Amino acid sequence: MKVTKKDLENVAVLSRLRVPEDKQETYIQQMDAILTYMDNLSEVDTENVKPTTYALPMSNVFREDEVKPSLDREAALSNAPLKENGYFKVPKVLED
């Protein structure tokens, strides 16, 4: 197996997800099958090949730095699960 229980736990933490005990085996098997299939990429010689991140060649798209209308605060906060005095509200991060 390429994917171990430890790998799954590690990647779940990175993903801010929790995988319940009874689903771990299924996730491990499915991810293992997928990643094993993907090993076919190792057949390809990419010694002198540059990576492609975007299909169309474009770089440094600039525009004037001008102030333009944007969402007002009310609208930007309209979907917040919790807000207070014009701010998003989150659980306490720092100790007292």
Burial class (CB in 10 A: 0-12, 13-18, 19+), 45: exposed
The reply on whether position 30 binds another protein by CB under 8 A is yes
The reply on whether position 4 binds another protein by CB under 8 A is no
16 phi, psi to nearest 5 deg = 50, 50
Query: For residues 54-73, which are near another protein according to CB under 8 A?
Result: 54-56, 58, 61, 63, 71
82 phi, psi to nearest 5 deg = -150, 130
The reply on whether position 24 binds another protein by CB under 8 A is no
Query: For residues 36-55, which are near another protein according to CB under 8 A?
Result: 37-38, 40-42, 44, 46, 49-55
CA angle 35, 36, 37 (to 5 degrees): 90
Task: Quote the CA–CA distance of 94 and 77 in Å, as a whole number.
Answer: 23
Interacting residue ranges for another protein, rule: CB under 8 A = 3, 7-8, 10-12, 14-19, 27, 30-31, 33-35, 37-38, 40-42, 44, 46, 49-56, 58, 61, 63, 71, 75-76, 78-82, 88, 90-93
